[in-house]
Amino acid sequence: GQFDYQADDVLAVNREEHGALADACQWLMDLLSDGRVRSSEVWKLAAKEKIAEKTLRRAQKKVGVIPRKEGIGTESFWYWELPKEAK
């Protein structure tokens, strides 16, 4: 059939998306390399870096980030940390 897009245009979008994911993975590993960080802080810093929420979630899974909850009730919070083998 007929398409309004050139193959190079379609492939370029995929390369950009892959690059964004790789960049987000590296950013996340750098951020968590010194230890755990509260998830709320991760999201705030990612927004400043213009990392899309979907990309950050994909990076979280790809890197193997471990989300953990600490505390009880209103004193609890979530944080993210790298798996031991990634440190």
* Main-chain dihedrals φ then ψ at residue 56, nearest 5 degrees: -65, -40
Q: Which pTM does this prediction carry?
A: 0.74
Q: pLDDT of the chain along its 87 residues, tens only? A: 555 555 555 554 444 456 899 999 999 999 999 999 999 999 999 999 999 999 999 999 999 999 999 999 888 999 999 988 655
Predicted pLDDT of residue 5: 52
Query: What is the C-alpha separation between 63 and 56, in angstroms, rounded?
Result: 10
Question: Which residues contact residue 79 at a Cβ distance below 8 angstroms, ignoring those fewer than 6 apart?
Answer: 36, 37, 38, 39, 67, 68, 70
Please, are residues 66 and 83 in contact by the beta-carbon 8 Å criterion? yes
Residues for the chain: how many in total?
Answer: 87
